């Protein structure tokens, strides 16, 4: 009888223990999708400053898992098009990020990131691709407990990927956790 009462009392206490947990800290990762606009730059013969190139459009998505507090590691896959069949590429990245307010259920969660990107042209004649460093930052604007508007700036310094030296893009997307 004592065993039955002890088990019943433990089962009745489980909901109380669960409600005492911090609801904002239970997630270990998040995923996102984005749409971006950007430009590539290349070194002009007119001087030491880079010249802007036409806009490109990019779409993609990724995810990140948190390793310790705000420190995370993520990966993404995207597609970029510079206008035309021969000016398109797949871009994949692996990044470390730091979120300054990861536990924010609502409000702004700013972040910075840095990592490496692989740019692979879709045409066989475009070469094998280029590995380049990337860095950027942005913020998740949490509109609901599990959904945020993601705004981000990303710079991929692809010095060996002809014809551009850098890819600068501004992204808008949706983050889910």
| pLDDT of amino acid 145 | 85
pLDDT, residue 161, reads 59
The residue count for the chain: 177
Instruction: Flag whether 7 is in a domain.
Output: no
Closest CA to 106 of 68, 131, 141, 76: 141
Q: Look at residue 4 and tell me if it is in a domain.
A: no
Total number of domains in the chain: 1
What pLDDT, on a 0 to 100 scale, did the predictor assign at position 70? 87
Q: What pLDDT is recorded for position 101?
A: 76
pLDDT, averaged in runs of 10, over the chain (177 residues) = 54 48 64 91 61 80 92 94 78 93 76 92 70 93 91 84 74 94
Name, in order, each residue with C-beta under 8 angstroms of 116's C-beta and a sequence gap of 6 or more: 93, 94, 95, 131, 132, 133, 134
Residue 114 maps to a domain: yes
Q: Kindly state whether residue 21 falls inside one of the protein's structural domains.
A: no
Question: Domain of 100: which CATH number?
Answer: 2.40.160.20
Q: Is residue 50 part of a domain?
A: yes
Domain membership of residue 71 as a residue range? 28-176
Question: Which helix (H) or strand (E) segment is 96 a member of?
Answer: strand 88-99
pLDDT at residue 16 in the model: 47
The answer to whether residue 169 is domain-embedded is: yes
The answer to whether residue 70 is domain-embedded is: yes
Q: Give a yes or no: residue 148 inside a domain.
A: yes
b/e map of 109-142 (b: 16 or more CB within 10 Å)?
bebebebebbbebeeeebeebbebebebbbbbeb
């Amino acid at each position: 009888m004592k065993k039955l009462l002890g088990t019943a009392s433990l089962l009745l206490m489980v909901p109380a223990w669960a409600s005492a947990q911090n609801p904002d800290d239970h997630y270990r990762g998040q995923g996102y999708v984005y749409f971006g606009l950007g430009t590539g730059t290349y070194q002009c013969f007119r001087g030491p400053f880079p010249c802007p190139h036409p806009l490109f459009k990019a779409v993609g998505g990724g995810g990140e898992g948190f390793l310790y507090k705000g420190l995370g590691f993520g990966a993404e896959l995207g597609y970029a098009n510079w206008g035309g069949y021969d000016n398109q590429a797949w871009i994949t990245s692996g990044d470390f990020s730091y979120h300054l307010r990861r536990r924010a259920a609502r409000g702004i969660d700013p972040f910075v990131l840095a990592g490496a990107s692989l740019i692979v042209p879709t045409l066989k004649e475009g070469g094998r691709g280029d590995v380049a460093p990337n860095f950027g930052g942005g913020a998740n604007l949490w509109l609901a407990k599990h959904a945020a508007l993601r705004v981000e700036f990303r710079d991929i310094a692809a010095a060996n990927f002809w014809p551009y030296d850098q890819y600068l893009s501004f992204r808008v997307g949706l983050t889910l956790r």
